[in-house]
């Protein structure tokens, strides 16, 4: 599993956004090649975003990125989910309960919006933070998130960093969750859009059809 981030190069933003917005599910699958896009989330205001990608090898990830490397800066980091992270922290012992990941890649429920949270544990607090996290019961974990729907968390233990995709109704609920950990870590929250939402938004803009023709010609995809 890889946590991937992208930022479209400024000079290519208009063309890249138009071409991406016109892509269908079938086109996304062909573009991914051997990779499985578990979920992808976009921050249109920053022409950036992130994705969770399952890949059989780093070569497969590289092949997928090659389709976009001329128009965007892309990075990939191997990560583990909650269950693997807890097993690592517990020195190979299986955790007492397992988190589920069936909501990753889903749209936000009615009345909710999608958000990503990137965390970085303060170096001096890493041991304490991981110990507290690994010892949480399922009930404590759910209470910790409060009213926020945790759709999936992934961790880069070597760097003390990680990523969460979640759904929330308000900024209050989001900040209440990260407040539980603010002493130990820095947490960055971003509102995001799914592929479906992002493509629909792009195609709804005036002159999209004309912009797409120009973008395809410029990117050599006509």
Same domain, 101 and 201: no
Q: If you count them, how many residues does the chain have?
A: 222
What per-residue confidence (pLDDT) applies to 222?
54
What pLDDT score does 44 carry? 86
148 and 161 share one domain? yes
Residue 221's pLDDT is 65
Residues β-bridged to residue 72: 8
Residues 154-190 pLDDT 10s: 999 999 999 999 999 999 999 999 999 999 999 999 9
Kindly state whether residues 84 and 153 are assigned to the same domain.
Answer: yes
- The answer on 163 and 93 residing in a single domain is yes
Read off the CATH number of the domain in which 127 is found.
3.30.70
86 and 165 belong to one structural domain: yes
Question: What pLDDT is recorded for position 219?
Answer: 82
Please indicate, yes or no, whether residues 72 and 168 belong to a single structural domain of this protein: no
Domain-located, residue 222:
no
The answer to whether residue 177 sits within a structural domain is yes
What CA dihedral angle connects 27, 30, 33 and 34, to 10 degrees? 100
Determine contact, residues 62/55, Cβ cutoff 8 Å.
no
Output the six-digit token pair for 81: 């989910």
Look at residue 140 and tell me whether its pLDDT is greater than 80. Answer: yes
Q: Residue 134 falls within a domain, yes or no?
A: yes
φ, ψ of residue 180 in degrees (nearest 5): -60, -20
- The reply to whether 202 falls in a domain is yes
Whether the CA torsion 47, 50, 54, 55 is positive or negative: it is positive
Rounded-to-integer distance, Cα 203 and Cα 195, Å: 12
% of the chain with per-residue pLDDT over 90:
95
pLDDT tens, residue by residue, 206-222:
999 999 999 989 887 65
Mean confidence (pLDDT) of the chain: 95
The confidence score (pLDDT) of residue 186 equals 97
Which residues have a Cβ under 8 Å from the Cβ of 168 and sit 6 or more positions away? 112, 113, 115, 147, 148, 149, 174
Q: Which helix or strand (DSSP H or E) is residue 178 part of? A: helix 171-179
* SS3 call for 65: helix
Q: Between 44 and 173, where is the model more confident?
A: 173
Residues 84 and 172 in one domain: yes
SS3 106: coil
Do 160 and 202 fall within a single domain?
no
Range of the domain at 105: 80-191
Which value, to the nearest 10 degrees, does the dihedral of the CA atoms of residues 215, 219, 221, 222 take?
A: 50
pLDDT at 220: 74
What average pLDDT does range 138-156 have in this prediction? 97
Does 128 score more than 70 pLDDT? yes
């Amino acid at each position: 599993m890889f946590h991937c981030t992208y930022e479209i190069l400024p000079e290519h933003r208009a063309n890249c956004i138009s071409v991406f917005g016109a892509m269908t599910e079938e086109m996304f699958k062909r573009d991914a090649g051997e990779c499985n896009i578990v979920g992808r989330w976009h921050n249109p205001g920053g022409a950036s975003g992130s994705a969770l990608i399952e890949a059989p090898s780093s070569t497969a990830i590289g092949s997928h990125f090659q389709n976009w490397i001329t128009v965007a800066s892309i990075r990939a980091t191997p990560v583990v989910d909650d269950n693997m992270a807890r097993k690592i922290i517990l020195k190979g012992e299986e955790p007492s309960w397992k988190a589920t990941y069936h909501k990753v890649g889903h749209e936000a429920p009615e009345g909710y919006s999608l958000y990503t949270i990137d965390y970085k544990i303060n170096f001096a607090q890493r041991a304490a933070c991981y110990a507290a996290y690994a010892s949480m019961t399922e009930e404590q974990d759910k209470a910790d998130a409060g009213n926020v729907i945790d759709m999936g968390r992934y961790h880069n233990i070597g760097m003390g960093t990680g990523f969460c995709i979640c759904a929330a109704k308000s900024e209050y609920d989001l900040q209440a969750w990260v407040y539980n950990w603010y002493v130990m870590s820095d947490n960055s929250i971003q509102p995001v859009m799914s592929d479906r939402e992002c493509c629909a938004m792009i195609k709804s803009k005036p002159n999209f059809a004309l912009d797409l023709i120009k973008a395809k010609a410029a990117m050599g995809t006509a």
